[in-house]
Amino acid sequence: CVGAVVVCSDARVVSSGEDGELFVWSLATGECEATLVGHSPDHVVQSLCALTDGSNRVLSGGDGFVLLHDLDAARGGAGVPPLREFRSEVGHTF
């Protein structure tokens, strides 16, 4: 099951699955280029947002927090950890 999909400015697609992993796909080849990690395998990432500030980054939301991912590091089958985690004491819960 796919939880969310976003098309990024570098002509790649990021999709989320049921296991908390995010996959970075090439539109040109259809190949999975990397995995963005950091969400719990017990939760679905419910939202994705490509930033439009020229930074080639994606926000992912699920598990009660938001992660910031750098797509420039997502190449060659790498498992890329998030750059930053956003969590609030009064934030959303699931």
Q: What is the pLDDT of residues 10-52, one digit of tens each?
A: 999 999 977 788 999 999 999 999 999 988 888 778 899 999 9
The pLDDT of residue 2 is above 70: yes
CA distance 62 to 23: 15
Strand ordering across the sheet containing 12-16:
4-7, 12-16, 22-26, 32-36, 78-80
Which run of H or of E encompasses 48? strand 47-50
Task: Give pTM, 2 decimals.
Answer: 0.87
64 or 82, higher pLDDT: 82
When the pLDDT of each residue in the chain is averaged and rounded to a whole number, the result is: 88
